[in-house]
Amino acid sequence: MLKKVAVIALPGMAQFEFGVVCEVFGLDRTDMGGPAFDFHVVTAEPGPVPVAHGLTMIVEEGFDAAADADLIAIPAYSVPRGERSTAGLASGERFTSGGFDERVLDLIRSTAARGAYVLSVCSGAFQLAEAGVLDGRRATTHWMYADKLATRYPAIEVDPDVLFVEDENIVTGAGTAAGIDAALHIVRKELGAAAANVIARRMVVPPQRDGGQSQYIAQPVPETRSDSFADVVDWMLENLGQDLGIEQLARKALMSTRTFARRFRAEIGATPAAWLNRQRLIRAQQLLEETDTPLEQIAQITGFGSAAVMRHHFVKVLKTSPQAYRRTFSYLDEPALNRV
């Protein structure tokens, strides 16, 4: 269970990414039926910590407060320019040749080793990489730093095209807003969709953006750039249970099939078939979370036709089965405090 969270204040830290972690985990939202975490800001040496833009933050707690945290987070910061340190530190030394504080690296290593979550936002991934906890794993960081991360740490499979990556208990977020996605993903996985939704509503952000990964996402609003396609998209969402072939959709849009397919991809960013399949999955996820409707009926409602076909798409895209998804994320008939 996710209860205690600590964010590490680093010299040169970016305030926005630090604020993202504080916003998701540092506010008591029990007044809206949401969670409250035991939240701590920690640093290697309590006292003044110089951060970005010439500001200084006073941090009162040291790393002892994070020793039993269920999650530690490392926000974006100024990436050290040195190469990865391969030599051990002499007695009494605190910084590697690359400019990393060994006390921070030790906290990251010990947290990962005991199975608690380690979350990085943007360039915070370099701290995880230097600690060695990303070796042999897939990870991400901001696209501006992806090549540098991959070059400096060749044992990491760096994916620059995703919002975040979860590899067991290690979660790496891409850029600023992706830190929200990664943090909400952890909340959703540990406490359920309702908890993540409460936090997202308070932050006025989507509960989850679709970044092309196997993520448990909430229903996004389709983005279109023209009124004509907005009408077609709305109609498709209202009729997911139908057999929505390209010919029928083209007629609805008063276009030829070739023109419709080309325009749809340009407007929506995916083929009609791929987009429909994704929306059917999202609707099925919602029904699995919020109702006890049988799987066969959900498959009919969402246009998959049968539970077997729906299961195929769940396993292919979400890497889980509908039954397992329901066991994990259903909050039907649970007491309010338990399901958020």
Write down all domains in the chain, each with its CATH number in brackets. Answer: 4-203 (3.40.50.880), 219-340 (1.10.10.60)
Euclidean distance between the first and the last CA atom of the chain, given in angstroms as a whole number: 12
Q: Which residues are 72's β-sheet partners?
A: 6, 118
- Paired with 165 in beta bridges are 172
Q: Answer whether residue 219 shows pLDDT above 90.
A: no
Q: Using alpha carbons, select from 134, 119, 140 the residue that is nearest to residue 25.
A: 119
Q: Give the tens place of pLDDT for each residue, 147-169.
A: 999 999 999 999 987 889 999 99
Q: Could you tell me which residue, 207 or 13, shows the higher pLDDT? A: 13
Residue 22 is among the residues annotated as catalytic for this protein: no
pLDDT at 252: 83
The pLDDT value given to residue 211: 41
Distance CA 186, CA 202 (A): 17
Q: Give whole-number Cα distances, 340 to 3, 32, 126, 175, 176, in Å.
A: 12, 10, 33, 27, 25
pLDDT score, position 270: 80
**What gap in Å lies between CA 207 and CA 286, rounded to an integer?**
13
Q: pTM for this one?
A: 0.62
pLDDT band at 335 (very low <50, low <70, confident <90, very high): very low
- Catalytic: which of 122, 218, 282, 318? 122
Q: Which alpha helices (DSSP H) does the chain contain, by range?
A: 15-25, 102-113, 125-131, 143-152, 176-191, 193-203, 227-238, 246-252, 257-268, 272-290, 295-302, 307-313, 322-329
State pLDDT tens for residues 16-68: 999 999 999 999 999 999 999 999 999 999 999 999 999 999 999 999 999 99
